[in-house]
């Protein structure tokens, strides 16, 4: 891309030119494309914490035909914000004001209009919900609202696992790392030592209860790689949706063989290229 500038060379304009140059370098700098990996397209789950948990339930409900489970840690119910910052704040801090039946009606109308997959897809899905009793950011009542929402669609009550009895702040609970469980620990990335492996418990529930729990001394076998996620945004750049141009994919050794499906995993988020393409309709 070539840009012709006719600004007079002054100290102020030179700073502007430098900033413009840096801006276009950032735009032109790209990470590798998301590669193909050996992923079971029938066993895709999506999970997250806080705003990532809100994203997880959004993605799960909207794309339920292709996603079989969700893990929601310190999150809010589907569409709880009503699309506004004020609504999000009310939902987070005053869950007693949330009308779960209204959210269910919204899903029904969305399904009728084709904006949401048919809710019958949710019937046999697995859902994990964590809400700490000491959470000051997303008040604990949100956990019960999420459970009530999913109970409306999931027939087998054992498919929904809840953890509502832990004195945890707004955090991702770990077994032996991070800040104190009941403290808001931004310095540790909101990872709190609660003597509880939420990541394992979440995935073990979603995937049938047969996962091997990692030992403290277990070495991680896999690679964390960058990829360019701009290709999944066509109407506007990723920043428009509070997303970065760079995505990260953790590739376990068992998934290292290339396959026709693409996998993205950020923390505890797993999805496929197919789902990422499908998400365009929700942006």
The single residue of 45, 47, 50, 111 carrying the catalytic annotation is 50
Are the C-beta atoms of residues 63 and 40 closer than 8 Å to each other? no
Task: Supply the DSSP string of 33-89, one letter for each residue.
Answer: PP-EE---TTS-EEEEETHHHHHHHHHHHHTTTT--EEEEES---TTTTTTSHHHHH
DSSP, collapsed to helix, strand or coil, labels residue 116 as coil
Q: Would you call 170 a catalytic residue per the annotation? A: yes
Is 50 an annotated catalytic residue?
A: yes
The catalytic position among 111, 131, 170, 205 is 170
Nearest Cα neighbor of 249 from 217, 272, 215, 220 is: 272
Report d(CA 205, CA 208) in Å as an integer. Answer: 6
Residue in 64, 125, 131, 135 annotated catalytic: 135
Residues involved in catalysis: 50, 135, 170
């Amino acid at each position: 891309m070539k840009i012709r500038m006719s600004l007079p060379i002054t100290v102020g304009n030179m700073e502007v030119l430098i900033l413009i140059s840096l801006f276009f370098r950032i735009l032109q700098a790209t990470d590798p494309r998301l590669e193909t990996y050996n992923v079971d397209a029938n066993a895709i789950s999506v999970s997250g914490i806080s705003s990532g948990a809100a994203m997880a339930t959004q993605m799960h409900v909207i794309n339920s035909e292709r996603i079989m489970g969700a893990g929601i840690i310190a999150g809010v119910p589907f569409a709880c914000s009503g699309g506004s910052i004020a609504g999000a704040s009310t939902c987070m801090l005053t869950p007693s004001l949330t009308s779960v039946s209204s959210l269910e009606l919204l899903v029904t109308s969305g399904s009728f209009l084709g904006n949401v997959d048919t809710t019958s897809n949710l019937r046999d899905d697995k859902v994990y919900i964590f809400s700490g009793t000491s959470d000051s950011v997303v008040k604990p009542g949100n956990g019960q609202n999420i459970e009530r929402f999913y109970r409306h669609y999931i027939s087998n009550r054992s498919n929904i696992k809840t953890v509502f009895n832990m004195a945890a702040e707004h955090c991702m609970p770990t077994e032996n790392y991070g800040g104190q469980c009941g403290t808001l620990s931004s310095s540790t990335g909101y990872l709190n030592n609660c003597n509880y492996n939420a990541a394992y418990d979440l995935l073990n529930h979603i995937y049938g209860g047969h996962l091997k729990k990692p030992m403290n001394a277990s070495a991680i076998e896999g690679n964390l790689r960058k990829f360019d996620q701009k290709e999944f945004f066509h109407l506007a750049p990723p920043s428009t949706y509070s997303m970065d141009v760079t995505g990260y994919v953790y590739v376990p050794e068992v998934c290292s063989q290339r396959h026709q499906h693409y996998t993205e995993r950020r923390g505890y988020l797993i999805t496929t290229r197919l789902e990422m393409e499908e998400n365009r309709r929700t942006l």
